[in-house]
Amino acid sequence: MVCLNNQEKIKIEEEVLALLEKVALHASTRGAIAGELTISLVDDEQIAELHQRYKGILGPTDVLAFTTREPGPDEPQVPYDIPDLHDVIISVETANRQAEEYGHSLAVELAVLVAHGVLHIAGYDDADEYGRERMNSEQDAILREAGL
């Protein structure tokens, strides 16, 4: 697991990166995520490009999550073993705005978004009320386990 700061607009301290790795570890354990996990911190411009390319939606978002998985029964098999790869991409600029709006620190907002992204990789979906409640409950548990 690695947390990469790929933006230069907002300073991120090393202890914040360590916190995000801790949250990601708790989230991946609770969500039974195996394989390699990368947390990438980017700016609004970078995430807006990914948001449009992969979701077809204009403008930035706070977090995107991507994963590889085992092929289904009708999909071609890979001829060699490769680990599952998981990426959680977070816009630090959007997270900073949200932190101000919610009245907590940027570090806390980034931690929430890491937990949220990893839970999406684990198969959680917040598209309906039941899914949101279930996902929020898991996020809260992960943040408590990480000391937040």
| Alpha helices by DSSP H, the chain | 14-30, 44-55, 92-102, 106-121, 129-145
- CA angle at 7 for the pair 126 and 108, rounded to the nearest 5°: 45
Cβ contacts of residue 30 below 8 Å, gap of 6+? Answer: 122, 138, 141, 142, 145
Other CB atoms within 10 A of residue 86 CB: 26
Each of the 148 residues of the chain gets a pLDDT tens digit; together they read 899 999 999 999 999 999 999 999 999 988 778 888 999 999 999 999 999 999 999 999 999 999 876 555 555 555 556 678 899 999 999 999 999 999 999 999 999 999 999 999 998 999 999 999 999 999 999 999 999 9
Whole-structure pTM value: 0.89
Strand partners, 64: 89
Q: Domains along the chain?
A: 7-71+81-145 (3.40.390.30)
CA 122 – CA 133 distance, rounded (Å):
16
